[in-house]
């Protein structure tokens, strides 16, 4: 694989995630869901992170999950050897718990540029606070 290309693609993905966070915080309602936000801000509908998370997730939960999911990426992207599983795991565990179809679609999107993204992932761990909130929504 082309390591510099994959690092660049992941760095661009991180930048896109931060830009998405910036955009949603401009339009955040306290308890609006992602579905409600996309209905009023359709330009967000084709953003892979937003496109594939559960529509019933609140904007607040999405923003918090996004921050937790990507906060270690800069450090991880500077490591000598990329841990594709760890990079993917943080996103999956903070944004896609209880949403296996959304996770599979998101993973396929990222793998178009970074085929090893998610390599070696263990099964989902449903013990997070977000997982509890997702279970209540279901």
Cα–Cα separations (whole angstroms), residue 123 to 23, 78, 128: 32, 26, 14
Q: 3-state DSSP call for residue 33?
A: strand
Whether pTM > 0.75 for this model: the answer is yes
The domain ranges of the chain are: 3-137
Paired tokens of 62: 């999405």
pLDDT per residue rounded down to tens, the chain (138 residues): 578 899 999 999 999 999 999 988 887 666 789 989 888 888 888 888 898 999 899 999 999 999 999 999 999 999 999 999 999 999 999 999 989 989 999 999 999 999 999 998 865 554 444 444 444 544
Contacts of 93 (CB under 8 A, 6+ apart): 69, 124, 125, 128
DSSP 101-136: HHHHHHHHHHHTT-TTTTTTPPPP---SHHHHHHHH
């Amino acid at each position: 694989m082309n390591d510099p290309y994959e690092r660049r693609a992941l760095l661009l993905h991180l930048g896109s995630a931060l830009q998405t966070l910036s955009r949603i915080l401009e339009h955040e309602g306290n308890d609006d869901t992602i579905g409600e936000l996309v209905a009023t801000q359709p330009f967000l509908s084709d953003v892979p992170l937003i496109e594939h998370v559960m529509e019933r997730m609140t904007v607040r939960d999405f923003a918090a999950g996004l921050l937790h999911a990507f906060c270690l990426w800069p450090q991880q992207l500077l490591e000598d050897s990329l841990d594709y599983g760890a990079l993917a795991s943080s996103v999956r565990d903070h944004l896609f718990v209880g949403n296996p179809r959304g996770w599979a679609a998101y993973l396929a999107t990222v793998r178009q540029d970074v085929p090893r993204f998610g390599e070696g992932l263990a099964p989902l761990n449903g013990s997070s606070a977000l997982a509890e909130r997702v279970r209540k929504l279901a």
